Amino acid sequence: MTRILLFLGTNIAILVVAFTVMSLLGVEGVLAANGVDLNLGSLMVISLVWGMAGSFVSLALSKFIAKRMMGARVIDSPRGDEENWLLQRVGQHAQAAGIGMPEVAVYDSPEPNAFATGARRNNALVAVSTGLLRSMDRDEVDAVLAHEVSHVGNGDMVTLALIQGVVNAFVIFLSRVFGHFVDRVVLRNERGYGMGYFVAVIVSQIVFGILASTVVMAFSRRREYRADAGAARLVGAGKMISALRSLERGVAAADPLPEQISAFGINNSTPSRLGRLFATHPTIEQRVAALSALGS
């Protein structure tokens, strides 16, 4: 809760600064002089509410959606030694990370992958694919479990939702200001909202959304490094590097995670340089290099 309050406080301060800058630049005055009755303060508040609402609803439903989309089976009654071992290792990692025991699930997919999600650190979900269990030895699977538990311990799901919410708010706000400017100042429309307003809002929202996504993806990549480092503390850097190398060998497998939860998977590399700017994960080589540096 402290993390959420601090983050919201910081970003409300950013919005206040943005409002102050626009006021000093006379943006509201320019719009008013052209017949635009636009209250920037009210628009900022509305944008923040709408931007944050979508992110938090998605976060609140993330476990439910992930289970349904992936057909994940939560291990309530372990079926055999492997599932007993999964529960035991996740429990030990969770205790070391200072969080409550997550739900542990297995989903059927040939791709070696795993993900963690959930709105609260003490009520999360850690899921692994059957492809990962088949393609890795236990030390490597253990490292993957430690990585996912580290995500939960770091509060990455909540922080990512907060960042996405604030970014959404800025996109909503800036696109509406730009739409009003084009409609009234450039096109000189004096009544209601003309077609120029709606076209400008749609186009600018797409452009601002693309630019804003690079900020969200940069944080997502950073949290992968942190989760790798957390796994290294729990099981050792060597095991985590071995797990990443194993993922690299299986990266071309079919049936990847759906886009809605791909950011939460451990395996989501993007080969092209342009694609890496919008990638949720660093490359395997970058992650291995970061882990190797921890031991140097």
Active site residues: 148
Residue showing tokens 């540096």: 293
Residue with tokens 């400017």: 181
Q: Which helix (H) or strand (E) holds 125?
A: strand 125-129
Q: Confirm if 116 and 151 have CB atoms less than 8 A apart.
A: yes
Q: Specify the 3-state DSSP secondary structure of 107.
A: strand
Q: How would you label 73-95 residue by residue, b for 16+ Cβ within 10 Å and e otherwise? A: eebeeeeeeebeebbebbeebbe
**Cβ-proximal residues to 89 (8 Å cutoff; 6+ apart), any chain:** 142, 145
With CA atoms as reference, report the closest residue to 131 among 242, 269, 247.
247
Sheet holding 125-129, edge to edge: 73-74, 103-107, 125-129, 114-117
Cβ neighbours of 45 (radius 10 Å)? 16
Cα–Cα distance for residue pair 104/89, rounded to 1 Å: 10
155: left (phi over 0), alpha (psi -120 to 50) or beta: left
The tokens for 29 are 């005055």
Q: How far apart are CA 21 and CA 171, in angstroms?
A: 17
One-letter amino acid identity for 277?
L
**Three-state DSSP state, 170:** helix
